[in-house]
Structure 1
Amino acid sequence: MDTTPFTSPHYVHGYSADEARRLGDQADTLAALLHAGTAYPAGGRVLEAGCGVGAQTVHLLDSGPGVHLVSIDVSGDSLAQARARVNAQRPDARVEWHRADLFALPFEDASFDHVFVCFVLEHLKDPEGALAGLRRVLRPGGTITVIEGDHGSAFFHPESPHAHAAIGCQVRLQAAAGGDALVGRRLHPLLAAAGYDDIVVRPRTVYADRTRPALVEGFTRNTFIAMIESVREDALAAGLLTRAEWDRGIADLRRTATPEGTFHYTFFKALAVAPR
């Protein structure tokens, strides 16, 4: 089902095949960390708001195999990739796909038991408005789960101001596009302003060192550093760093994924309830 018009946010990481792979690596590496405690009962109607390429969709289906999942995204190309991913990995799943705008949801009031939002608010100019719209389609007493990162929580060894400057480029570019790479710390006030009750926000921390090679590879290298590297051309074009400064920052960031390095990052996971 298509609805128009679509308010497509600027996705600062782009829509390349490399980005689709990065999202898959991120979802698979962090599945246990991010999805722990999220299990929807069989028969429940769940809205996945902003499914992207379906990287999180397959994990939602793992934790709620009997749900009626409705996955939406503003990008038709991303929806096609999501459908293909789910068909290949969870062919028996019950998923309904819609191309839809978060700010003009094509659903009746109180038509979902649960809503799941992951790595979406960071890209929106009006995250509070999006959350309020999602509350409209959530039944009284229904739950919303929101997961977001916060680039201000990245710290590492060896310490490097050059690496922080490279990360700062991504934060600044996302802000210029109307998003917020630091949105994780805002989840509680955003949900409260959007009218939700019983809000609980908890940090989900990733820490990687040589004793956790899967996290070093899957998160530090293939998720975080790859994400920062993806904005190189935009950062240079905007004059945020010189080419030499950028290269030094990325080189230092890569050192955090060596046997001598460590890396820390915090995601925030919120659970809230639509007013009864």
Structure 2
Amino acid sequence: METTMTDGPGGYVHGYSGRESRRLGDQADALAALVHDGTAYPAGSRVLEAGCGVGAQTVHLVARSPGVRLTAVDLSRASLEQARARVEASSPAARVRWRCADLRDLPFGDAEFDHVFVCFVLEHLPDPRAVLAGLRRVLRPGGTLTAVEGDHGSAFFHPDSAHARAAIAHQVALQSAAGGDALLGRRLGPLLAEAGYARVGVVPRTVYADRARPDLRRAFTRDTFTAMIESVRGEAVAAGLAAPADFDRGVADLHRAADADGTFHYTFFKATAVNPE
């Protein structure tokens, strides 16, 4: 699920609009417990957030781990400026070092960090295994890496809709054409093992929204997932993947899943791993 705005080969399929920035913030807030529960770093720890984007996750990192020495990296200078403003507004006392850099060529010394946090970034990269392997260089032996990714194949909903499923498939295809993988969650564990990490553990973090969870229906089903699919309408139509009316029908049916009698399910995968000593 796209929560960062990291540039690079293939780019970011959802664009860099103000609307997308707001969507990322809404998504991070709606999923804060799901993404960050169980992740807290001791004060004084040297933590790298790899691919911070507009700071949507950064605000939650500093709130849950006060006193850490956080370095937030992204390739987009514009996103970094938004991230800085977002964090300063929410946590003025937070100690964050902002760096504009490519995750494939990080300007840090060996073993410079105790922990690495990477959330919704790997799915946008053409070679996530190589980036994970490169992060090991800047992570001290025995240090931990935490990675969170979604998997659009885990989305199902009621009422079911062939048009909605097709719209999701078009987003997956566009992301693949851009060099990413919207189905990466299912292979997150194997990627970490292939990159040389030890003690790899992966847990599913499931979102289920129905009439008993009206806030989640709004925040996730409508304002996060459906908004993300809707954001690629122009690209899907231009690429000949969908007729405008068919894509619009799919989006409308996803909105239907956010109604009082609708349901929506999605699974994220959260992995932890250790850099071998």
Q: Distance in 2 between matches of 1:105 and 1:250?
A: 39
Deviation at 1:99, TM superposition (A): 0.1
The one-letter code of the counterpart of 1:100 is: A
Residue 32 of structure 1 is matched in structure 2 by: 33
Deviation at 1:214, TM superposition (A): 1.0
Q: Distance in 2 between matches of 1:62 and 1:87?
A: 12
SS at match of 2:67: coil
Deviation at 1:195, TM superposition (A): 0.3
The 1:173/1:7 distance shift into structure 2, 3 A limit, reads closer
The 1:243/1:7 distance shift into structure 2, 3 A limit, reads closer
SS at match of 1:263: strand
Cα-to-partner distance string for 1:164-203 (whole Å, 9 max, x where unaligned): 0000110000000000000000111100110000000000
SS at match of 1:105: coil
**1:79-98 counterparts in 2 under 5 A?**
79-98=80-99
The one-letter code of the counterpart of 1:99 is: C
**1:164-175 counterparts in 2 under 5 A?**
164-175=165-176
The one-letter code of the counterpart of 2:222 is: R
Identity of aligned residues (%): 70
Does the 8 A contact of 1:7 with 1:103 survive in 2?
no
Residue 75 of structure 2 is matched in structure 1 by: 74
Please tell me the root mean square deviation across aligned C-alpha atoms, in Å. 0.8
Output the TM-score relative to the length of structure 1.
Answer: 0.97
Q: Which moved more, 1:19-28 or 1:242-251?
A: 242-251
Q: Which moved more, 1:237-246 or 1:265-274?
A: 237-246
Residue 51 of structure 1 is matched in structure 2 by: 52
Residue 4 of structure 2 is matched in structure 1 by: none
Q: Distance in 2 between matches of 1:218 and 1:243?
A: 26
Does the 8 A contact of 1:8 with 1:74 survive in 2?
no
Does the 8 A contact of 2:9 with 2:126 survive in 1?
no
Q: Which 4+ residue blocks in structure 1 deviate beyond 2 angstroms?
A: 6-9
Aligned residues: 271
Contiguous gaps of at least 5 residues in structure 2: 1-6
Deviation at 1:9, TM superposition (A): 4.4
SS at match of 1:249: helix
The 1:76/1:9 distance shift into structure 2, 3 A limit, reads farther
Q: Distance in 1 between matches of 2:85 and 2:9?
A: 22
Output the TM-score relative to the length of structure 2.
Answer: 0.97
Q: Distance in 2 between matches of 1:91 and 1:8?
A: 34
Residue 264 of structure 1 is matched in structure 2 by: 265
Residue 140 of structure 2 is matched in structure 1 by: 139
Cα-to-partner distance string for 1:115-161 (whole Å, 9 max, x where unaligned): 00000000000000000010110000000000000000000000111
Contiguous gaps of at least 5 residues in structure 1: 1-5
SS at match of 2:255: helix
